[in-house]
Structure formats: structure tokens, C-alpha cells
Amino acid sequence: MSKIIKTLTIAGSDSSGGAGIQADLKTFEEYGTYGFSALTTIVTMDPDRGWHHNVYPIDAAIVAEQLKTIFAGGPVDAMKTGMLGSVEIVQVAEQAIKNNLQTNVVIDPVMVCKGEDEVLNPESANAIRDLLLPLATVATPNLFEAGVLSGLGKLTTLEEMKEAARLIHQLGTKNVVVKGGKALGGDKAIDIFFDGSEYTVLETAKIEPAHNHGAGCTFAAAITGGLANGLSVKESVVKAKDFVSAAIRNGYAFNQYVGPVFHGGYRLEK
Ligand SMILES: Nc1ncnc2c1ncn2[C@@H]1O[C@H](COP(=O)(O)OP(=O)(O)O)[C@@H](O)[C@H]1O
Ligand SMILES: Cc1ncc(COP(=O)(O)O)c(C=O)c1O
Ligand SMILES: [Mg+2]
């Protein structure tokens, strides 16, 4: 075998398997890369309480220990962050990125899980904005997160998404994708990619039923996989959109509450 291509996710566990570290590792595998993970939080969903999410952060020192283990094998080719769970964990992720400034990093500024519209942990969200976005190669907020990060509040049009992308770029990230997804009205799933000078509109038909739990994590992990394989940022984002669309098309109803993507969908359709 030729050179091993290494990818890393610093993210939470979604025991239901569609999102979080599970989505990231499955996607990394689909991209032919060797995935590492530093676990930050454990999320459970309660069927007796309408699928209420409980988030259990891990001690930041243990996250730091996991990263020490991973980097004992040398640098990785690309990395991403997902749900981080506490300001201290955000700081640990910041340090890992600063120790590896040559490595492309995708910041998925996870503040919410689908179906919830309240920021899970406002202090961590602010820390992601202030500490991680300035270090990001690409940031991938969904519509809600882009409204919070840009300060524009609820976004409802393409023009507002573009303005949010511009404002988030000003926070220091080199590139940003604002994901309209299912949250934007209309029959298209539209994302805006902004590289600081040019806007690219990424558009597909909205897939119904939307088995899109984990779509955001899968999309960010796919960008990471593309970057690790040497694609440009724009190429990585364009391929990730195809990858996540196939994952949603091949998703399934896990139960009455949630329909996760299938991370192997792109391979199945080839
Ligand atoms: N029903 C859908 N049909 C097609 N694409 C979708 C659908 N829902 C989400 N997407 C796409 O999945 C990716 C993740 O977006 P989104 O689901 O909004 O993120 P998040 O999971 O972070 O909330 C984006 O590329 C978005 O356009
Ligand atoms: C651990 C974890 N990370 C991230 C997310 C966000 O998932 P999505 O990809 O749907 O935005 C979730 C949602 O349940 C989660 O449990
Ligand atoms: Mg998300």
C-alpha cells in the first residue's frame, strides 16, 4: 500500500450512529483515509422524552490526552472539529490546531442538533467563534449557526446567506460554506461557498423524505477527506455536496424520531 492518508476528528459521540464521530469516521473510511478521533462529548437521545438530547462533555484533560496519543504518530493530513461541549475543550482543540498550523482544518461550528433551535452551550459557541474560526481553512455553519455567528439572526433568503458568509469570513476563516439545507424554504437544498472574493452557489433538489440526521457532520468530514487527499478547498466542497446528497438519498428511518444519512451512499451509487 502507498502512503497512508490520515484524517482526524475532534467531536462528540452520537450513539444513534448518523452524526458526530460515527459520521466522521465512516466518511473518512469512504474517502480511503485512516481516521483518528478525539472524543469530546457523549450525546444520548431519549425515546421516552420525545428524543430529547442529553449532552455529556468529557474532561478537557482527557481530550488533550487523546490528542497527544494521536500526534505521537506524527501529523495528520487534514482535521475537523464537531461538537466540542465546553470552553475548555474548545481551548484544547485550539491548541491542537496551533501545534499543526500546516494542516488544513474544517471547523463545523456545531451549536444545535436538528429539530432544536436553541444554542446548546452559548459559551462554547462564542469560544468556537473567537478561538477556532480565525484558524479555520473552512467553516461549515448551517443556516441557524450562520445566523448566530454573523449576528444577523434568522436567515431566510440567498442574499442573507451571502451576507452571513461575508461576515463570517471577516471573523477570520479563509473559506466558509453556509448550508441552507432543508432549513431554507423552497424545493432546492442550497449552500453558499465563499472564499473571500467569490461566491459559489451549490444547489441540488431537496430530497424527501429528508433522512438528513448527521448530514452536516458528514458534509464537513467529506470536505476534510477531500483536503486530505490533496483536492483544493473548492473541489473538496463540491465533491462533499455530491457525497452528502448521496448519503441523504440512501438514508433511512431509524425510528419515529430520526432518519440518519447512510455514509456509504456515494459508493453505492457509483
Ligand atoms: N433534504 C435535503 N435534501 C438535499 N440536501 C440536503 C437536505 N438536507 C440537508 N441537505 C444538505 O446536507 C448538507 C448539510 O446541511 P444541513 O443539514 O443544513 O446541516 P446540519 O446537519 O449541520 O444542520 C448541506 O449540503 C445541505 O444542503
Ligand atoms: C455528537 C453530535 N455531533 C453533532 C451533531 C450534529 O449533527 P448534524 O450533522 O445533523 O448537524 C449531533 C446531532 O445529534 C451529535 O449528536
Ligand atoms: Mg450540524
pLDDT at 120: 80
Is 234 close to ligand 1, i.e. is its CB under 6 Å away?
A: no
Domain boundaries defined on the chain: 6-265
Task: Tell me the average pLDDT across 3-27.
Answer: 98
User: What is d(CA 210, CA 260) in angstroms, rounded to the nearest whole number?
Assistant: 9
Q: Write down the CATH number for the domain with range 6-265.
A: 3.40.1190.20
Which residue's alpha carbon is nearest to atom 5 within ligand 1? 189
Is 202 close to ligand 2, i.e. is its CB under 6 Å away?
A: no
List the Cα angle 46/211/82 in 5-degree steps: 65
Which residue's alpha carbon is nearest to atom 27 within ligand 1? 181
Helix ranges (H only) for 174-232 are 215-228
Ligand nearest to the CA of 205: 1
User: What is d(CA 226, CA 80) in angstroms, rounded to the nearest whole number?
Assistant: 12
ipTM reported for the complex, 2 dp: 0.99
User: What is d(CA 258, CA 242) in angstroms, rounded to the nearest whole number?
Assistant: 22
pLDDT at 105: 98
As given in the structure block, the three cell numbers for residue 148 are 448566530
What is this structure's pTM? 0.98
Model confidence pLDDT, tens digit, residues 174-199: 999 999 999 999 999 999 999 999 99
Does the pLDDT of residue 114 top 80, yes or no?
A: no
As given in the structure block, the three cell numbers for residue 181 are 439545507
Residue 148 Cα distances to 64, 80, 127, 129, angstroms: 28, 20, 13, 10
Is 239 close to ligand 1, i.e. is its CB under 6 Å away?
A: no
Report every protein residue that has its C-beta within 5 angstroms of ion ligand 3.
216
Does the pLDDT of residue 91 top 70, yes or no?
A: yes
Beta bridge partners of 78: 7, 104
User: Which candidate, 65, 114, 70, places its Cα nearest to that of 89?
Assistant: 65
